[in-house]
Structure 1
């Protein structure tokens, strides 16, 4: 049986792993996206001159992000296994991968959020202060809405990075297209299976990028 025939026989598994990729990426972006938004906003508002300026909090948050963010994800999976066991009861599989990806993504997204919030016109913030708005109201109604368009592009980039992470997570037994390419492609010397997984990942990434670009343009035109 040649590689293409094997791929046809593996089609149910291929479709299942495609669905698992959406599942892992979706949940990881929800948890990591929320965590990253909190981290990035904290980094921005606590900096000198920020609406909640606090040198100690800014220094601690910056140190934590700078410590964990450069760790290669393949290594970070191993580092995060004890945390995954504490949260979901196992260090392998889909749930463990979601924990590792969510934590890793939150640090990267945090920096993306911070960089996009820096682009907000300080004059808009000062105008809100002059009108008597408090720090939390300024964050909620001025800073985040003003940066919404760039944030969409930032989260689009982060989603693509998380798709890449989900493929790497196949090394700890997580399902998804990465696991399919490793188990049924690389280990069984089936190039058809490997390239089928690659093709679907490329299509997913292209769709995510196109949707993110379109949504961002629509928001920024307003």
Structure 2
């Protein structure tokens, strides 16, 4: 039997939010890595050209460069995290829907630029979703919340990796990409419904503070030796 405490830990609003953050985060990534290559191949684009599309994953590796900007600035009145979540999700909704309106054979460079833009806004969304989830979850729920997030992240791959490919047998690619993009509305709805995790967040006074303070906090938590070991694990 599941204990009452465990039930309260699993079946609460914070874990439900983690389901939606995982779905919204994973969908654009799988669109780029599953749906777009399949589309290009069926339209007669060569494997060599499709192989170059692997470069679009670079924004995911370099998102830490502009992450401090998301901490420093609040572009909308709905809150710092929710502002960036809404902006990136609406951008992804439009960009993914636009992909199907171009011809892979004659407008491949335009599709490549759109794909890079999708990767950029997807990586940016990941930054703000991760920050929001860290502020939302107490330390004792971090493991479970992140696990739920990752599982929802993977489940989202069924949309572009299965449903969209099935629809492509019956519908033109324009319609397929519009329908697939429509699933980003799940993330948009979540952003509009939830509240900021922190009522009075500590906003950096400048970009210098936005960059330096997280590193200071990281090493204070783990000590210099522990922090360097963690970073070495990441890099190696």
Superposition TM-score, scaled by structure 1 size = 0.30
Bigger-Rg structure (1/2): 1
More helix by share: 1
Superposition TM-score, scaled by structure 2 size = 0.28
